[in-house]
């Protein structure tokens, strides 16, 4: 895969996730501290993303970083089913229960990032 093909795949996956959340380019840019035009360049594959930007995107969209390169492109249906299943499991939980789950997930992500 060429660098250009990788940028195009990355951009398509960023756009797909942004649209799935009904988020505008301007809103995403605000979360990333970049201008709307830069988001457009990334989505069209005309500009790559730094590791820091990918990390922020993964946090905003609540997906692992590698999903921008692999998961969303090849396993989109399976990922959609997992998200729906997870949403169903979370429905009806109290705020306290949801906060507990969020803290557990953050702990797991932190552990993975630290190499543990």
Q: Tell me if 85 is assigned to some domain.
A: no
Domain that holds residue 36: 3-74
Count of CB atoms within 10 A of residue 54's CB? 17
Q: Residue 41 belongs to a domain with what CATH number?
A: 1.10.260.40
Q: Tell me if 93 is assigned to some domain.
A: no
Q: Tell me if 84 is assigned to some domain.
A: no
> Of 115, 8, 102, 114, nearest to 59 (Cα)?
102
Rounded mean pLDDT, 67-77: 60
Q: Which of 29-33, 98-102, 109-113 has the lowest mean pLDDT?
A: 109-113
pLDDT score of 10? 92
pLDDT score of 76? 57
Q: Tell me if 47 is assigned to some domain.
A: yes
Rounded mean pLDDT, 6-29: 93
- Residue 75 predicted with pLDDT over 50: no
Our count of domains for the chain comes to 1
Q: Tell me if 80 is assigned to some domain.
A: no
Q: Tell me if 95 is assigned to some domain.
A: no
């Amino acid at each position: 895969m060429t660098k250009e093909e990788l940028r195009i795949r990355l951009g398509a996956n960023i756009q797909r996730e942004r649209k799935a959340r009904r988020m505008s380019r301007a809103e995403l840019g605000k979360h990333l501290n970049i201008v709307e035009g830069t988001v457009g360049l990334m989505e069209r594959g005309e500009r790559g993303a730094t590791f820091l930007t990918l990390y922020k995107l993964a946090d905003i969209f609540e997906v692992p970083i590698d999903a921008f390169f692999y998961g969303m492109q090849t396993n989109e249906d399976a990922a959609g089913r997992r998200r729906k299943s997870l949403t169903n499991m979370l429905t009806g939980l109290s705020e306290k229960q949801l906060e507990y789950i969020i803290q557990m997930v953050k702990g797991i992500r932190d552990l993975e990032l630290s190499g543990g």
